[in-house]
A and B are shown apart, each in its own frame.
Chain A
Amino acid sequence: MTPKIGRTTRILIIEDEPAVAFCLEQELVEAGFGIAGVAGRLNTALAMIEDLTFAAAILDANLAGVSARAAALALAARGLPYVVISGYSPEQLDLAFSGGQYLRKPCNVDQVVQVLNQLLAVDLTAGVAPTSI
């Protein structure tokens, strides 16, 4: 569960469901990550993507009934890797999310940590933004 990148690696959590966001935050902290911020609405998410410093994001595809498409595009524009965690199947998701790694909701923190580590390892060693599989 220990992240390979180090304790200071900061993650932005974009998730509208308070219980899920809170739990994810706690579990990621326990797994050794830092939390850059938690956003539950699209506007907040876009502001945080713009203003905060973080290594990767966890993105819920639907924020309080609104597609998080714009957040996916903003992350891609900044070249930041992200994990899409969604109840939608990959086929039901907007193409804008194809830049992220997909995880089906609900998922275990081990899966999240594993995908984050993969994304960050690729990002740091190759120096390029990861692409979807």
Chain B
Amino acid sequence: MQQRRNQTEAAPVRDSTLRHSAAIDLRRYKAIIDSTDDAIIAKTLQGIITSWNPGAERMFGYSAEETIGHPLSMLIPADRLTEETEIMRRVAGGEMVNHFETVRRCKDARLIDVSVTISPIHDEFGSVVGASKIARDITERKTVTADLCRFKAIIDSSDDAIISNSLLGVVTSWNRGAEKMFGYTAQEAIGHSISMLIPFDRKQEEEEIFVRIARGDPVEHFETVRRGKDGALIDISATTSPIRDGAGTVIGASTIARDITERQRNRDHVQLLLAEVNHRAKNLLAVVRAVVVQTFRLGDPATIRDRLCDRIGGLAAGQDLLVNKAWQGVELSDLILAQLDLFKEQIGTRVLLDGPSAQLTPAASQGIGMALHELATNAAKYGAMANGQGRIRISWEVSAAPNAVFLMSWQEEGGPKIAASVGKGFGQTVLGRMVEHAIEGTAHSNFAEGGLLWRLSAPAENVLAATAQGL
């Protein structure tokens, strides 16, 4: 500047040309400054505003009249004032501060995010006399960035696979859910064809989805199968939507897929349970039918009715125990207590139970349960419980492995003398062949002087539930 000034003095002829050119430059700069959307502000080193362009008016809401001659601190939130002091210290030292992101306050007290570039203004002697500031409103950019971060966090934290691909089927994004579900990392998947996930027999289906997406139609909650990196097939429910560019043209597809293997497994399990319920309910009805047919052989209607109700009640009690233990097995002492409900008051006094914990298989508990029911009914009518002083001792044991044997006995004593007819008919079959059939064992009934002795023995593996066999 100094040099030019000297030149001007030395060459007065060119003076007007130079002045003319400087004036054009000035006008050009002013036009640029007036037309930009950025706020361009000049201030003194003391922080007094000396110029204020229309961009600044639009950004901060103050007119030039309201700001020129006033301190710039009017724009600075209280918690940012030290930051401004530091910047001014650097600018006073001749330094330029580039793209400094901060917050400024508008006339309406609204806070906006700005990116500021501050340059020193030199006087003709090269001393710093002020600062020019160019501020750009980045609120929108910040909002978009924050939104993007939020969306990215949501996508990253989802257990669903969220994938995008181009219309050519090239994977363009791949979240952590997709990594977990399909086994490919984002690095392995992005840039490769989405067809790597599609089992051979599903290619046709994928083409149909592609046609719909290209047409702009989403495909929602579509249940299908995909192949993971390890080759395993995964049941998924997927929703695929078209991705459009700014002009609305479909440029790709986004897919959200949920692993429904578990759901599918649950569905299969429900089917299995229904089949089991069907099987077991009809089995029980078959047993009831057999009991009815056998009980009717008694002949006398009143006796038939009583015994029938008794026996069906016994079956129901056994059923409760099985269901309570999820059909896995029944504790023998529980089974005895359930079938001896008739004289539960005497348990521990006239009726003694003696044996280790033993989990019976469902088949054994049914066979032994029916036998116990017959024994209890007989004892109440004709045996040890038919008078006031008879006793019953029920004991069982399991011999040591290998070839463990289950032994059980029902010993009555002190009852009335047993009539010869007792123990014939279906009751005797239940105590003999039927329980033998249930556990492939042997049963003996002995009507001794003091009362009935019933003994049962069978291989322990036929009687005890698998989980209890190690005991």
Nearest residue, chain A, Cβ from B289: A106
Q: Is A19 an interface residue (CB 8 A)?
A: yes
**Are A106 and B437 also in contact (CB < 8 A) when A17-B366, A64-B361, A87-B279 are?**
no
A41 touches B282 (CB 8 A): no
A87 touches B282 (CB 8 A): yes
Q: Is A125 an interface residue (CB 8 A)?
A: no
Interface set, chain A 102-127, CB cutoff 8 A to B: 104-106
- Give per-residue flags for B210-250: 1 if the beta carbon is below 8 A from chain A beta carbons, else 0: 00000000000000000000000000000000000000000
Nearest residue, chain B, Cβ from A16: B363
Interface set, chain B 263-301, CB cutoff 8 A to A: 275, 278-283, 285-291, 293-294
- Indicate the member of A19, A22, A61 with the most B CB atoms within 10 Å: A19
Q: Is B379 an interface residue (CB 8 A)?
A: no
Nearest CB on B from A118, distance (A): 21
Q: Report the Cα distance A21→B370, complex, angstroms.
A: 14
B437 touches A21 (CB 8 A): yes
Q: Report the Cα distance A44→B439, complex, angstroms.
A: 12
Nearest residue, chain A, Cβ from B435: A18
Nearest CB on A from B184, distance (A): 38
Q: Chain A contact residues: over half helix, strand or loop, or mixed? A: mixed
- Give per-residue flags for A1-37: 1 if the beta carbon is below 8 A from chain B beta carbons, else 0: 0000000000000001111111110110000000000
**Are A23 and B278 also in contact (CB < 8 A) when A18-B434, A105-B283 are?**
no
**Are A27 and B293 also in contact (CB < 8 A) when A17-B287, A18-B434, A65-B362 are?**
yes
Q: Is B433 an interface residue (CB 8 A)?
A: yes
Interface size of B as a range: 20 to 34
B293 touches A23 (CB 8 A): yes
Interface set, chain A 41-87, CB cutoff 8 A to B: 41, 44, 61-62, 64-65, 86-87
Neighbouring A residues of B434 by C-beta, 8 Å: 18-19, 21-22
Nearest CB on A from B60, distance (A): 78
Nearest CB on A from B310, distance (A): 14
Q: Report the Cα distance A26→B225, complex, angstroms.
A: 54
B283 touches A17 (CB 8 A): yes
Q: Say which residue of A26, A27, A40, A87 sits within 8 Å of B286 (CB atoms).
A: A87
- Give per-residue flags for B344-363: 1 if the beta carbon is below 8 A from chain A beta carbons, else 0: 00000000000000000111
B370 touches A19 (CB 8 A): yes
Nearest CB on B from A121, distance (A): 26
B290 touches A22 (CB 8 A): yes
Nearest residue, chain A, Cβ from B281: A87
A18 touches B289 (CB 8 A): no
Q: Is B337 an interface residue (CB 8 A)?
A: no
- Give per-residue flags for B420-460: 1 if the beta carbon is below 8 A from chain A beta carbons, else 0: 00000000011001111110100000000000000000000
Q: Is B55 an interface residue (CB 8 A)?
A: no
Q: Is B367 an interface residue (CB 8 A)?
A: yes
Q: Report the Cα distance A40→B286, complex, angstroms.
A: 15
A88 touches B440 (CB 8 A): no
Neighbouring B residues of A20 by C-beta, 8 Å: 283, 286-287, 289-290
Nearest residue, chain A, Cβ from B282: A87
- Indicate the member of B282, B429, B462 with the most A CB atoms within 10 Å: B282
Nearest residue, chain B, Cβ from A23: B290
Q: Report the Cα distance A38→B440, complex, angstroms.
A: 11
A105 touches B286 (CB 8 A): yes
A residues apposed to B, CB below 8 Å: 16-24, 26-27, 38, 40-41, 44, 61-62, 64-65, 86-89, 92, 104-106
Of the A-B pairs whose beta carbons lie under 8 Å apart in the complex, a sample of 21, sorted by A's number, is A16-B438, A17-B366, A18-B433, A18-B436, A19-B294, A19-B430, A20-B289, A40-B363, A40-B437, A40-B438, A40-B440, A61-B279, A64-B362, A65-B363, A87-B279, A87-B280, A87-B281, A89-B275, A105-B283, A105-B285, A106-B289
A-B contact sample (16 more), CB < 8 A, given A17-B287, A19-B434, A92-B278 = A17-B366, A18-B367, A20-B283, A20-B286, A21-B437, A22-B290, A22-B294, A22-B437, A38-B437, A40-B438, A41-B462, A61-B279, A62-B279, A87-B282, A87-B286, A92-B279
